[in-house]
Amino acid sequence: MRAEYFTGVTYKGSYAHADDCPSSAAIPILAFTGRSNSGKSSLLSSLCRHANLARSSKKAGKTRTLNYFSVPPSSSGGPGLYLVDLPGYGYAALSLKERDQIRQMVDEYLANVKNVKLLIIVLDSRREPGPEENSIRAWCDLHAQPHVFALTKWDKLGNKERSAALKFWNAWGSPFVFVSNQTGYGVEKLLHMARNTVRRPDEILPDVNASTVDDASTQDARS
């Protein structure tokens, strides 16, 4: 059985502040954070099998607001939820002030919105975590915030780079999954993790892959 993609997803709205966001505590949230141009919007669209639902762009710095998408309850009993595309941080072409504003927006969001069931920290798999990722991870640990690193653009790595990345991330110690928004690699695995975190107690998920951490055998089998 395969992981169920999010279907029937609609754009709900864009907000400048955490306070303005839809506030129903009953609706679980999956939020995407990460550097500008890391592939957050593309990944959100991949999970919905909907090309460009969350408008990805070749131009970095595209997403500047807190963008909400509504997922209706699934036919197999999965709950309705929100997917939230957070603005990308670290875009070098912005002024320091603008970069600070974006960081503040993301920090304020995470501090105030309580029902983020899974924070998906998106990073280009050719990069290693920087100060931002370190600080987000520390924040997650401190606040017991479930999170996973989604390492995008896996299609762009050669075999050597893949082995090095795998070694690095296995040692890094947070849950991670390598994904490609171009080939779909790893998307079902992430989807399964996401569905698991918002699962109703009586809901049984298909056993796509029980592991939360990528391992060499799955990489080899699917590369």
Ligand X SMILES: Nc1nc2c(ncn2[C@@H]2O[C@H](COP(=O)(O)OP(=O)(O)OP(=O)(O)O)[C@@H](O)[C@H]2O)c(=O)[nH]1
Q: What is the CB neighbour count within 10 angstroms for residue 215?
A: 11
175, interface contact from Mg ion, ligand X, none, CB < 5-8 Å by kind = none
CA–CA gap between residue 80 and residue 93 (Å, rounded): 37
Binding flag, residue 41, Mg ion (CB under 5 A): yes
CA–CA gap between residue 115 and residue 106 (Å, rounded): 15
Nearer to ligand X, 78 or 120 (CB): 120
Tell me how far, at minimum, the Cβ of 63 lies from ligand X, in Å.
3
Binding flag, residue 62, Mg ion (CB under 5 A): yes
Q: Which amino acid is at 191?
A: L
Q: Which residues bind ligand X (CB under 6 A)?
A: 34, 36-42, 56-58, 60-63, 88, 152-153, 155-156, 180-182
Tell me how far, at minimum, the Cβ of 61 lies from Mg ion, in Å.
9
Q: Give residue for tokens 């197999």.
A: 76
Residue 132 in tokens = 């931002």
CA–CA gap between residue 63 and residue 180 (Å, rounded): 20
Binding flag, residue 63, Mg ion (CB under 5 A): yes
Beta strand segments in the chain, E? 10-15, 29-34, 66-71, 81-85, 116-124, 147-152, 176-178
Tell me how far, at minimum, the Cβ of 33 lies from Mg ion, in Å.
11
117, interface contact from ligand X, Mg ion, none, CB < 5-8 Å by kind = none
Nearer to ligand X, 156 or 200 (CB): 156
Tell me how far, at minimum, the Cβ of 116 lies from ligand X, in Å.
18
Tell me how far, at minimum, the Cβ of 87 lies from ligand X, in Å.
6
137, interface contact from Mg ion, ligand X, none, CB < 5-8 Å by kind = none
CB-based contacts of 158, cutoff 8 Å, min separation 6: none
Report the candidate in 172, 65, 86, 83 with the shortest Cα–Cα distance to residue 125. 172
Nearer to ligand X, 28 or 91 (CB): 91
Give contact residues for Mg ion (rule: CB under 5 A).
41, 62-63
